Structure 1
């Protein structure tokens, strides 16, 4: 059984917010092969207070006692205002907030005083080699935990990250790395064992209304949570991304931990652009030996396991089977 911390920025039930974090949480909660021991919240897809409310409401609905702790409210350096404007207001700019009419809102709750960053660092360092950290939002909490707990990188069993984009039309950067490039750079170069799930592979995933209808037939609380929160998001994705459904980025991270046959992977050196300008936050990768290495500094961190191709039908089957448990 894998012992997990999930660091996330869920938005299930929130107009215009992506719902893939909630699906990742649902898979982890439903799987008999995972012990989810801590949920930490970072600002990203939603403000951290909103993400906390979403995750805590889910845990309360299930009657579980898993700690949910609120972490960083903004990036290490990146100004939050442009990102909040883009992420929180877009649904109103395109006049699609009505898609969420009638969708249950997460119940408001106050975050505990305990700090998410300290809880993450302590749990990992007190259990060396036993905790897998799933980081599916900006990496601010993870970077701060590494700063406070220098042994974290060597103590964590693995960090499985959703973030980065290397070669997709219409994308220079993704939200998770773009919102906090300094944190992504620090974590990728920490020397920890890392699996990276970039948008290049997560945009090969797809969940349609037909797929969701199969989940809707599962009479279980987690299946109902997924069904009710995914319906408006799929419609939003169809209208704004011109897809037949929606991508399920973060779900692939947890599915990969459960069954590595769901995707292929290769090892690369990976980093993030930190300089100001259009490419700030852009991720890049390379393998050795480089044909042209003039001006390229020696890589500080180790190789990163990067997912390449996904079997979407197997992924959907895994999700359905896990939620039916």
Structure 2
């Protein structure tokens, strides 16, 4: 009798507590819901059109929604023709919404292997120069913009020289470049080659020196980590996929193959895809803090001092290739 009386007395209290909890459930659910992760904001500088790795890198970048590409700028050599290539590539990929810029023209010693494909691109009038695009986005989104450099650092250096304070608003620079402990021709079956004057650095040494000294955080993907090849089974799957982006990639690959350059072999080394992969999944290429100096010959020399770069010296090739294929083939 005593238990029944206590239970009856407690029922209104319990009902009030439950009612209060139910009333709060929507607000609590909203508060507890995971907020969407904002996309990384990226401006790209690329010397696409000589080697084929830039095209493979952009294919990966364009497939991933966690990266918001604010703009892509051509770099080095015939930058107008490179911008035409970019316009055609973006159009075929269904990404004509991405802004373009034209880098500073220079003299290049490398043959533009994909020039015939590029020549059919059509540029809109009034495109900004690359340095202007970099600075505009850095000012518009202070502390949020990653500058992804896939070629010589000419335009990054020009932006820094033009507006040091604006350049300092960049979140970071992610660059393919340099050679720290391994040179060209990395192989698991022979001793590592000596460090080399890597192409993107040696092409414009003064620009690299300026960027390294600018104080913006640098993630460096050197030859040590980026000599990753795309083998035949993966190429067949990509080229048979049959959408606008992979069809463009196929055509660019075969124009690259149809050259006499020594590196235009059947198996491409996708140097520039590695920094893109790092942006998407940093665990694929863990970094080490280093102090690197760019010397007059274009070598990136390790030395004493406060680290000025985070360098990836070894990438997880199987996982990187798997991620690449899953993304570009839109399997997940």
Q: TM-score range by the shorter chain?
A: 0.7 to 0.9
Structure 1's unaligned 5+ residue stretches are 12-16, 75-79, 92-99, 275-279, 289-298
Q: Within 1, Cα distance between the matches of 2:319 and 2:255?
A: 24
* Aligned match of 2:285: 263
Residues 211/194 of structure 1: CA separation in 2 closer, same or farther (3 Å cut): same
Residues 242/21 of structure 1: CA separation in 2 closer, same or farther (3 Å cut): closer
- The TM-score, its normalising length taken from structure 1, stands at 0.78
Structure 1 residue 191: Cα displacement = 0.8
Structure 2's unaligned 5+ residue stretches are 1-38, 184-192
* Aligned match of 2:42: 4
Does the 8 Å CA contact 1:208/1:234 hold for their aligned counterparts? no
Residues 222/198 of structure 1: CA separation in 2 closer, same or farther (3 Å cut): same
- The TM-score, its normalising length taken from structure 2, stands at 0.77
Structure 1 residue 261: Cα displacement = 1.9
* Aligned match of 1:218: 241
Q: Within 1, Cα distance between the matches of 2:105 and 2:264?
A: 32
Does the 8 Å CA contact 1:266/1:306 hold for their aligned counterparts? yes
* Aligned match of 1:316: 321
Choose 1 or 2 for highest CA Rg. Answer: 2
* Aligned match of 1:30: 63
Q: Within 2, Cα distance between the matches of 1:10 and 1:130?
A: 25
Does the 8 Å CA contact 2:92/2:248 hold for their aligned counterparts? no
Q: Within 1, Cα distance between the matches of 2:134 and 2:125?
A: 14
Does the 8 Å CA contact 2:178/2:200 hold for their aligned counterparts? yes
Structural mapping, 1:76-225, within 5 Å: 80=107, 84=108, 86-88=109-111, 104=117, 106-110=119-123, 112-113=125-126, 114-166=128-180, 167-168=182-183, 169=193, 172-203=196-227, 205-225=228-248
Q: Within 1, Cα distance between the matches of 2:258 and 2:325?
A: 20
- Give the length in aligned residue pairs: 280
Name the SS of the counterpart of 2:69 in structure 1. strand
Name the SS of the counterpart of 2:290 in structure 1. strand
**Greater shift after overlay, 24-33 or 147-156?**
147-156
Does the 8 Å CA contact 1:220/1:324 hold for their aligned counterparts? no
Q: Within 2, Cα distance between the matches of 1:215 and 1:258?
A: 20
Name the SS of the counterpart of 2:147 in structure 1. strand
